[in-house]
Amino acid sequence: MKRVRETSSLKLLPLSVLLIVVVLMACGSDDSVVSSGDGDGDMPKVIRLIPSETIFTADDLKAIGWKPQKDLFYDYEGTEVSKWGFLNSKEVGVLIYATADQANTLGVTAADAQTFRRDEDGQAPDDGIDRISCRDAAGQSAVQVVTPTTAKAFSASYLEPEPRYFSDVSGRSCSNRFPTYNDYTVIGNVVMMCEGDGRNLLEPSTNCRELEKWLTK
C-alpha cells in the first residue's frame, strides 16, 4: 500500500521562493529554464517549465527509451502514473497527470518536494523523499529505498528491496542521504525528475535537458 506523502512535514519552501530566478536566455537558449539553488551555487538545480498542449502517455515516454520499473512509494495526488525507472542508464522519476494544469501545479509541488535539500547540509529531509542516494565516507554509492519497514542500503542498486537482494545489503546505515533527483522538467502533463549525469548528484541531467526535443521530434 502506498503511503500518502505529507508535504507539510517536509518544511518545503513556497514555490515562489523555490523558483528564484527566471533565467532569460539569449542567442537561441532555452527560455523555459527556471534555476534555483543556494546563493553560493553549491546546490544548483535546473527546472524547466515547457508549455505544451500535447497530452503525453506512458507509451510516449517508452518510445524515447524510458524503462519504467515500479511505482513510487508515496501517493502523488492527481497522478495517473507515478513510477521510477531508467532513461539512458540514469534514474528518472515520472509523474503523468490528466492535464498540463495539474502537472504545473500538483506536479511542480511534488517535484519540489522530491528534489528538496536542507540548507544546512544539502542532504534530504528526514522523511517524505521517495528516492534517496547514499554517499558514505568511503565514497561508495548506494540507494536507500523507502519501505514500510526499515530501509536498506544496496550497493550500486536502484531496485526496491526484495528478499533475494538481502545478501547484497551493504551493512552500513545511510548516514549521508541525498535526494536522487535534482533537476526536473515539466512538459505538458508530464513531470520528469532526473538523476544527474555523473556520480555527483548535482551534475546537470541530459535527460531533463533533452526531454522536450525527444518527445516532440
pLDDT at 10 over 80: no
Q: Where does residue 91 fall: left (phi above 0), alpha (psi -120 to 50 degrees), or beta otherwise?
A: beta
- Whether 17 contacts 123, CB under 8 Å: no
Closest by CA to 130, choosing from 208, 186, 73, 175, is 73
pLDDT given for residue 130 in this prediction: 93
Residue 134's pLDDT band (boundaries 50, 70, 90)?
confident
Which residue type, as a one-letter code, is found at position 81? Answer: V
- Whether 3 contacts 75, CB under 8 Å: yes
pLDDT given for residue 65 in this prediction: 97
Per-residue pLDDT of 137-158, as tens digits, reads 444 444 444 444 444 433 333 3
pLDDT given for residue 161 in this prediction: 32
Q: Of 102-111, 137-146, 197-206, which one has max mean pLDDT?
A: 102-111
Closest by CA to 131, choosing from 180, 77, 202, is 180
Q: Of 10-24, 35-49, 50-64, 191-205, which one has max mean pLDDT?
A: 50-64
Pairing state of beta strands 21-22 and 33-36?
antiparallel
- What's the whole-number mean pLDDT along residues 12-38? 44
Residue predicted with more confidence, 132 or 107: 107
What is the C-alpha separation between 83 and 3, in angstroms, rounded?
14
pLDDT given for residue 177 in this prediction: 86
Sequence-separated (6 or more) residues with CB below 8 Å from residue 100: 51, 52, 53, 55, 188, 189
Per-residue pLDDT of 53-75, as tens digits, reads 999 999 999 999 999 999 999 99
The CB density around residue 161, as the number of other CB atoms within 10 Å, is 19
Phi, psi dihedrals of residue 17, rounded to the nearest 5°: -90, -40
